[in-house]
A and B are shown apart, each in its own frame.
Chain A
């Protein structure tokens, strides 16, 4: 190898110039290549997902609208009104007012229960910190993301709404999808 050999320098690949012959090739030859590329798209067919009718499946860990849970055997609420979720919430959109369980009125499994549990979904940033903060897995993030409404007050979800078994409007992504 001569001392002047650049060795590892990669040669610059230039497009054909605009001269007569190379220009003509560039115009017509490369055009044919382009036509082939676009025609392949027609053969492939559209990749559009027609949204309101078809929906993109979500991943299992997708963070959508929250859900509150009950114990399946006793039907008691898991939430004990500890307000840790409200403390963890960066957007400050959760409001919890706790009350004591009494033998006559037993709502949750613990000593206290959430008399008021509200999530203002117009402020929620869907970070999932409430889910992490919860010591009883009482609140989890669901898969629902179609949350628009006509008034802001309609977006304040109460405990009853969050406890309700949600309508699964969004398909869940299956293995390998």
Chain B
């Protein structure tokens, strides 16, 4: 078998399992908090409080909702395709969690005499791995929408397919600028290369393009045509309820965390602190989480601000503005780096 990528495995197998469980546990503990954070912040942006009734400051709201979803009766339309209908949310959540493995939360640390990298895996093809899984995550949306056997789901899925493909191009091109500057695809390598200056300064255009394309990739406002609750009921997950719906919801928010993590890693210097501060190693994950929170706050801010784009505007923006800008950014970067 040909090795497609070099994975820098140096920990014993049990450390890797513990690591995987720890990352998974932390992120899944953070998800409900993130949902309530988004709703509260969204409320503030609209001059209201957001959920504040369940528990102190409304913090128990997601718990109440998860209980509500969990006790719902699972059902599917008679026109749906059972196997695909069940598999689609699994694909969505699997790909989201798989991408999570790549986000580096810190450098290699010495814990109890073991060398432990504070990340899931460090693949030599880093960024490509993320793109591969976000490519597969289309199937979660496509199959979910198509297998539902409903017009609205189908429309949402078709829009999703077109949107994700167009915006992935710009997103990829925006990242190539960073990859050229850093000279490596490994995410930890890219963070190490940012020792002098975080890449959002030299790659500012790339950062803006990446963020814009990320809104489309995570199906969030103003590019949430896939869900478009006003016109398509719920888009691809119209027919989903109960735990399957929660799976889609969690996949969407995990994707948001992953994108925030990638943006942090590639543009905001990962676990590095500004002004040459070198804190001890255990601070690294908190630095990364703080930066991710910043990016997510920006996501929410944008969601509170911009209305949803019309479909043709979405397409013309993606192909006529974003793609030329990304290409130009790539060319300029390449000329500067080579010349």
Contact = CB atoms under 8 A, between A and B. Distances in A.
B43 A46 contact: yes
Contacts of B304: 38
Interface stretch (B170-178, B274-282, B317-325): B317-325
Contact of A47 (B47, B301, B313): B47
B301 A35 contact: yes
B48 interface: yes
Interface in A16-33: 18, 20, 23-24, 27-28, 31
B301 A39 contact: yes
A46 B49 CA distance: 6
Nearest to A47: B47
A50 interface: yes
B8 interface: no
A41 B320 contact: no
Contacts of A42: 44-45
B137 to A, nearest CB: 26
B47 A28 contact: no
Interface in B301-320: 301-302, 304-306, 313, 316-317, 320
B109 to A, nearest CB: 37
B305 A34 contact: yes
A46 B324 contact: no
B321 A20 contact: yes
A44 B45 CA distance: 9
Contacts of B313: 18
Nearest to B298: A35
A159 B305 CA distance: 55
Contacts of B45: 38-39, 41-42
Given A18-B316, A41-B44, A24 B321 contact: yes
A105 interface: no
Contacts of A48: 47-49
A34 B320 contact: no
Interface string B114-152: 000000000000000000000000000000000000000
A38 B46 CA distance: 7
Given A47-B47, A48-B48, A38 B301 contact: yes
Contacts of A38: 45, 301, 304-305
Contacts of B44: 41-42, 45-46
A34 B305 CA distance: 6
A38 B49 CA distance: 14
Residue from A34, A38, A45, A50 having most chain B Cβ neighbours under 10 A? A38
A37 interface: yes
Contacts of A44: 47
A50 B320 CA distance: 47
A74 to B, nearest CB: 50
Contacts of A41: 44-47
A34 B208 contact: no
Contacts of B208: 28
Contacts of B306: 31, 34
A64 B86 CA distance: 55
Most buried by B among A39, A41, A44: A41
Contacts of A35: 301-302, 305
Given A46-B43, A47-B47, A31 B305 contact: yes
Interface in B287-339: 301-302, 304-306, 313, 316-317, 320-321, 324-325
18 contacts: A18-B313, A18-B317, A20-B320, A20-B324, A23-B316, A23-B321, A27-B321, A31-B305, A34-B306, A35-B302, A35-B305, A37-B305, A38-B305, A42-B44, A46-B43, A46-B47, A47-B48, A48-B47
Query: Which are the 10 A-B pairs with shortest beta-carbon distances?
Result: A34-B305, A38-B305, A38-B45, A48-B48, A42-B44, A47-B47, A41-B47, A38-B304, A46-B49, A46-B48
Interface of A: 18, 20, 23-24, 27-28, 31, 34-35, 37-39, 41-42, 44-48, 50
Interface of B: 43-49, 208, 301-302, 304-306, 313, 316-317, 320-321, 324-325
Given A20-B320, A48-B48, 12 more contacts: A18-B320, A23-B316, A24-B325, A28-B208, A34-B305, A38-B45, A38-B301, A39-B301, A41-B44, A41-B47, A46-B44, A47-B47
